[in-house]
C-alpha cells in the first residue's frame, strides 16, 4: 500500500503540464467500440480508471497498447463479446458508459451495476429509461442488466436532469440508431464537447454539445482516427488550489481557464492573481486568503462538485468563514473529518458546510476517503506545519496520473512511499 508524505509550510514555485481529462477519456474509450477500427488517443492519462477501461475492452476481445508516455492505441475490430464481468464493473462508476456503445455495436449487452467512489446514490435510471426510449429491452433483475435491441430508433429524449453519464451513454447509443436522436436538457460539460469532437473525427454527425440540446444523426458507419484528449480541468483546479493554499507562483501548461472559470473566479475573490492565455494558466498567491461568498455546487457551467473538497482545503486558513453548499452528491463531505485532524474548523449540517479559517494547520496521519477528498488532503497538507502522511492513495490514482510528480514540479516537498 502506498502513502504520500507531504512536508508543508513552503511556498510553491514552478510549472507543470496538465494531463488528459479522466472524465473525457473514459467515454471516448467506450466510444472506440463504435468504430470497429483502430483509434490512436494522444494525451491519454495513465490512471487506474483508464486501466479498468482497457481491461473491459480486452475482455470484449479488443486490444490496447501504450506507445510512449501518453499515446494509447485501441483496436476494436476483434470485438467478440457483449458481456462485462461484475468484477470490472465494480471498479469504477464510469463503466456504465459501455452499455450504450456495446448495445449500438452488438444489439445486446450484459453488465452489472457499476461501482466507484461512495458518494451516495447515483442511480443509472436516466441511462436505462433513455435507452428504452431508443428501443432497447432491458431486464435488470438480480442486479444484472440484460439488454437487447433488435433495432434502435432515433427520437427525442428529454432528461429530467442534465446527467453527464446519461447524456454520454445516449450519444453513443444514438450513433447506432436509425434516424435522428435529440437529447434535451443534456449535460453541458466540456467533456461532452470532447466526446462529440471525437465522434465527429470518426465520421459521426453530432451537434449541439456544450448546449442543452444534443443532436445525433445515427446509422452512419464510423472509422478510426487519431485524437488528442482535452486537458483535465479538475486536475488544473487542484494545482491552482495547491498554490492558493501554500502560497507562491505556478504555471500550468495546457490548462484552459474557460473550462474552470467558476473556480478561478472564487480564487480571485479570495486574493489570488490569475492570468491565462492559450499556453496555460498562471496563479500567484501571497499571504492568507480572504473569505469568499457562499460556494454552491451545480451542473456545468456552475461550480463543479469535483472541485468542492479541493477548494475547501485551500480556504482552511482564510480570514473569516466560508459556506459550502453541496447540491450534487449527499456524501461529498467525507473528507471533512480527515481535514479536522490537521486542525481545520469545519461544521457540517446536511448539505451545508461552514469553514472558519484558522491561523495554522498542522501535519497529521490522514486517509483518503474518495478521489477528490484525497486530493484535498494533499492541498491542505501543503499549507500545514510539519509532516502529513496521506494513506489509501489508490483513490487518488483513479484520477491523477502522478500527483506527487506534478506537485514536486511546482515546488512541493512531497514523496510517494510503498509499504
Scan for cell 476517503, then name that residue: 369
CA angle 277, 280, 282 (to 5 degrees): 90
β-strand pairing of 248-253 with 12-17? parallel
At 184, give phi and psi (nearest 5°).
-95, 150
Q: What is the C-alpha to C-alpha distance for residues 407 and 18, in angstroms, rounded to an integer?
A: 11
The cell for 132 is 428504452
Nearest to 278 by CA among 301, 249, 257, 260: 257
| Catalytic position from the list 117, 175, 283, 318 | 117
365 near 341, Cβ under 8 Å? yes
Give every CB contact of residue 399 below 8 A, 6+ residues apart in sequence: 22, 47, 49, 232, 234, 235, 371, 372, 375
CA distance 111 to 123: 15
Can you read off the three cell numbers belonging to residue 139?
A: 431486464
Element of type H or E holding 278: none
Instruction: Give the per-residue SS3 of 197-228.
Output: HHHHHCCCEEECECECEEEEECCCCCCCCEEE
Distance between start and end Cα atoms, the chain: 5
Is residue 367 a contact partner of residue 339, using CB atoms and an 8 Å limit? no
Sequence-distant (6+) residues with CB within 8 A of 349 are: none
Per DSSP, 308 falls in state H
Residue 368 annotated among the catalytic residues of the structure: no
Residue of 358, 348, 343 lying closest to 323 (CA atoms): 348
Neighbours of 233 (CB within 10 A): 27
Q: Parallel, antiparallel, or unpaired for β 137-139 and 273-277?
A: unpaired
Which residues participate in catalysis according to the annotation? Answer: 117
Amino acid at each position: 500500500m502506498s502513502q504520500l508524505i507531504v512536508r508543508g509550510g513552503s511556498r510553491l514555485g514552478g510549472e507543470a503540464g496538465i494531463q488528459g481529462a479522466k472524465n473525457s477519456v473514459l467515454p471516448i474509450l467506450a466510444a472506440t467500440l463504435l468504430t470497429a477500427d483502430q483509434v490512436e488517443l494522444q494525451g491519454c492519462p495513465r490512471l487506474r480508471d483508464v486501466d479498468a477501461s482497457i481491461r473491459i475492452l480486452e475482455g470484449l476481445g479488443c486490444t490496447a497498447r501504450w506507445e510512449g508516455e501518453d499515446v494509447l492505441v485501441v483496436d476494436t475490430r476483434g470485438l467478440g463479446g457483449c458481456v462485462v464481468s461484475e468484477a470490472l464493473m465494480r471498479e469504477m462508476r464510469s463503466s456504465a458508459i459501455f452499455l450504450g456503445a456495446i448495445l449500438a455495436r452488438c444489439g445486446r449487452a450484459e453488465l452489472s451495476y457499476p461501482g466507484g467512489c461512495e458518494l451516495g446514490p447515483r442511480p443509472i435510471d436516466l441511462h436505462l429509461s433513455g435507452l428504452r426510449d431508443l428501443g432497447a429491452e432491458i431486464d435488470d433483475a438480480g442486479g444484472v442488466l440484460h439488454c437487447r435491441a433488435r433495432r434502435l430508433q432515433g427520437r427525442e429524449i428529454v432528461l429530467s436532469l442534465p446527467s453527464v453519464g446519461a447524456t454520454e451513454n445516449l450519444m453513443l447509443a444514438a450513433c447506432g440508431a436509425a434516424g435522428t436522436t435529440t437529447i434535451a436538457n443534456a449535460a453541458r460539460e466540456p467533456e461532452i464537447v470532447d466526446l462529440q469532437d471525437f465522434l465527429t473525427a470518426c465520421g459521426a454527425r453530432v451537434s449541439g454539445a456544450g448546449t442543452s440540446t444534443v443532436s445525433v444523426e445515427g446509422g452512419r458507419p464510423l472509422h478510426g482516427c487519431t485524437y488528442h484528449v482535452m486537458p483535465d480541468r479538475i486536475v488544473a483546479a487542484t494545482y491552482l488550489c495547491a498554490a492558493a493554499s501554500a502560497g507562491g507562483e505556478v504555471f500550468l501548461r495546457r490548462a484552459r481557464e474557460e473550462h474552470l472559470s467558476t473556480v478561478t473566479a472564487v480564487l480571485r475573490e479570495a486574493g489570488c492573481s490569475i492570468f491565462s492565455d492559450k499556453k496555460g494558466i498562471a496563479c500567484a498567491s501571497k499571504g492568507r486568503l480572504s473569505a469568499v461568498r457562499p460556494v454552491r455546487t451545480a451542473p456545468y457551467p456552475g461550480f463543479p462538485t469535483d472541485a468542492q473538497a479541493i477548494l475547501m482545503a485551500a480556504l482552511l486558513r482564510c480570514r473569516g468563514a466560508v459556506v459550502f453548499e453541496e447540491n450534487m452528491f449527499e456524501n461529498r463531505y467525507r473528507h471533512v473529518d480527515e481535514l479536522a485532524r490537521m486542525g481545520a474548523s469545519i461544521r457540517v449540517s446536511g448539505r451545508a458546510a461552514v469553514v472558519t479559517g484558522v491561523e495554522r494547520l498542522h501535519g497529521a496521519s490522514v486517509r483518503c476517503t474518495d478521489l477528490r477528498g484525497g486530493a484535498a488532503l494533499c492541498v491542505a497538507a501543503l499549507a500545514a506545519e510539519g509532516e502529513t502522511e496521506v494513506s489509501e492513495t489508490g483513490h487518488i490514482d483513479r484520477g491523477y496520473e502522478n500527483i506527487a510528480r506534478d506537485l514536486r514540479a511546482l515546488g512541493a516537498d512531497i514523496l510517494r512511499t510503498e509499504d
